[in-house]
Amino acid sequence: MARRETFLVEVAYAKPGQQMLLSIEAEEGMTLAQVIERSGLLAQFPEIDLATSKVGIFSKLSKLDATVRARDRIEIYRPLIADPKAVRQQRAAEGKKMSRGGGDAAPEEEG
């Protein structure tokens, strides 16, 4: 029986104050779910539930049964705490200025 080709992929997961980026050896034909399982992140972060968590490759949503390719970055996404659209609407209603990165903008100096 021929040995399957192996290659490296990355698995990323982040939560406030902690980011994980692991290099994992994958085999030809492996799925996102199999690579995530192999990474050990499910044991390390019990809050990850692949039945409800969204996953992607390089910021593009993917299904757990999608096949990985060499040098893919598999990302496990956390649920949003607040709907970004609702937050923008609330800030607009309150009359707050938004800076480019979000949050309260500092008042501009007159010169």
Which segments of the chain have a pLDDT < 50?
Answer: none
- What pLDDT score does 16 carry? 87
**Number of other residues whose CB lies within 10 A of the CB of residue 56:** 17
Domain that holds residue 62: 1-103
CA-closest candidate to residue 33, choices 64, 59, 12: 64
* pLDDT at 85 (0 to 100): 80
Q: How far apart are CA 57 and CA 11, in angstroms?
A: 9
* 111 is a domain residue: no
Q: How many domains does the chain have?
A: 1
Which pLDDT score is estimated for 4? Answer: 76
Say what the pLDDT of residue 103 is.
Answer: 54
What CATH number does the domain containing 39 carry? 3.10.20.280
Please check whether residue 25 lies inside any domain of the structure.
yes
pLDDT of amino acid 58: 96
Residue 108 lies inside a defined structural domain of this protein: no
Task: Give the residue carrying structure tokens 């593009």.
Answer: 60
Q: 11-48: string of b/e by CB count within 10 Å (b at 16+)?
A: bbbeeeeeeeebebebeeebbbbbbbebbebbeeeeeb
pLDDT at 109: 57
109 part of a folded domain? no
Per the domain annotation, does 110 fall within a domain? no
